Amino acid sequence: MISDHDQETSRSAKTKYDSDGYAMFEKILDAGLIHEARKHIDWLLEKNPDTRPEQLHHFLMQNDPFWVRLVSDDRLLDIAEQFIGPNIALFASHYIAKRPFDGQAVLWHQDGSYWPLEPMEVVTLWLAIDDTDQENGCMRVIPKTQTMRLLSEDELQSQEDGENVLGSGIDSGQVDESKAVDIILKAGDVSVHHANVIHGSNANTSNRWRRGLTIRYIPPSTRIISEGLHPSAFFLRGRAVEDVNQYNPHPKYIEGRHMQFRGTETWNHKCDSWNVEIRPFLAKD
């Protein structure tokens, strides 16, 4: 049962989101799971030694049981439900891990400029895996810009200098940086932001990591426009919608192939049950 305090916190966050395009939730995930997420980043980097830690993208998660376990955590889905309703699928997820001293910046942008979604009904949860602040390159938001028109990718400025995560962004002359708000979070906290809100982050020049996980949740009525099966399309809660998306089966844990995590002894049974339940919506072999 949700406490009166939690209900009030949720109402306040939703009001903030509707007004300013973002909101924050404190102490969502426990320290044990956050520790496993840090281990997961290390494991991914070991498996992908030529990949910068800011570029651990959604296409790595198709057969990664811990990643799917993390984004399907009920505490995260409960937050997403407040913004997109009780039926929830995953569109994409991306670790942006800025290592000490040379962690890349993220230029000002609107997420939806890059996304093949129709309609653009989506919410992003940003999970802090480390404490994030101005020193190590926390996310920064320009409040109330969620009401702006969504720029197309063609309208963005290319900046392929190897020093920023996206390689493009909004012309800084179009952004009033004096209005920027720093999203300061503790590990285990979550921020939520709108697909149209302008945001970015500075480089990490501190001696600390700044690791975060973006999680893009959609209602199953939102179509992912993709040639073939989208690698991070997973159905997570509620009821799917016919003839919109095909989803990946939840991947089972295989010892020696995947990172071990708490609950591996029951994960495969959960996968079997869930994959049977959503079988009509899984991609056909």
Q: Which two tokens stand for residue 217?
A: 């949740």
Residue linked to tokens 């073939």: 228
Q: What is the pTM of this model?
A: 0.95
Contacts of 274 (CB under 8 A, 6+ apart): 250
Percentage of the chain modeled with pLDDT above 90: 91
Percentage of the chain modeled with pLDDT above 70: 98
> Is residue 3 very low, low, confident or very high in pLDDT (cuts 50, 70, 90)?
low
pLDDT digits 0-9 by tens, 10-22? 889 999 999 999 9
Contacts of 267 (CB under 8 A, 6+ apart): 65, 69, 252, 253, 261
Compute the CA torsion angle 57, 59, 62, 67 (nearest 10 deg): 0
For residues 262 and 128, give the distance between their C-alpha atoms in angstroms, rounded to a whole number.
20
- Mean pLDDT within 176-183: 97
Rounded to 5 degrees, what are φ and ψ at 49? -65, -20
Give the pLDDT confidence score for residue 284 in this predicted structure.
78
pLDDT digits 0-9 by tens, 223-274? 999 999 999 999 999 999 999 999 999 999 999 999 999 999 999 999 999 9
Structural domains present in the chain? 4-281 (2.60.120.620)
Q: Is the pLDDT of residue 78 over 70?
A: yes
- Average pLDDT of every residue of the chain: 95
pLDDT digits 0-9 by tens, 34-55? 999 999 999 999 999 999 999 9
